[in-house]
Amino acid sequence: MIQFTNNSVYNFEHALRGARNPLNSWAKSDSYYDDKKRYVLGANDLDLAKRLCKAGSDHRKFMRQILVSIDINAPLYWWKEYDTYKVGTTANSTSTMHRIHTKPFELSDFSYDRLTEESLVILQSLVDYFEAIRISYNENKSKEDWYQLIQLLPSSYHQLRTCTLSYENLFNMYHSRKKHKLLEWREFCRWVEKLPYAKELIVEI
């Protein structure tokens, strides 16, 4: 289970202008802002961008300047794999250490969509246990209670992070993970496919 909210993509204009710097070909640029203030790549600029992408990472440096900001709510087991991509990415997460006791535990705080009925019963029992411990901690501020929450917390627990990535990051992640056995990665790749010009600059390269 993974959710994507508050998606923003920006800096196409500057990235494409920079892509024309090596040959001083700015006069050939044909991109523009439409009436909704969206940046539209013209045929010349899109053709150049696709050729640079196909030429390899050394040539598609402009992709590092197209930025994406997104809130991702995903289980800890997915975040452990996401953290492989440290270079050129930034993320601010909600704090498990400081805030785990501030809201009631609910089943929806966990990924459970692939659990069997038996496993779901076990998870629900664990959620109920966590909630009892959380209430006890809030009443007594016992460090022992707090440790029960932290050390027993399953990797299916959801964490929200606000992430900033580039199209180059997404290019590498998409082609590395599009056939991954984790459904969250498949969903991530489907999200990438919906980004502006992702089909031309990421998916079909």
pTM above 0.85, yes or no: yes
Domain coordinates in residue numbering, the chain: 3-90+163-203, 101-152
Q: Provide the pLDDT for residue 88.
A: 83
Q: For residue 76, what are the CA distances in angstroms to 9, 94, 96, 153?
A: 25, 12, 11, 10
pLDDT tens for the chain, 205 residues: list them: 999 999 999 999 999 999 999 999 999 999 999 999 999 999 999 999 999 999 999 999 999 999 999 999 999 999 999 999 877 899 999 988 878 999 999 999 999 999 999 999 999 999 999 999 999 999 999 999 999 999 999 999 999 999 999 999 999 999 999 999 999 999 999 999 999 999 999 999 9
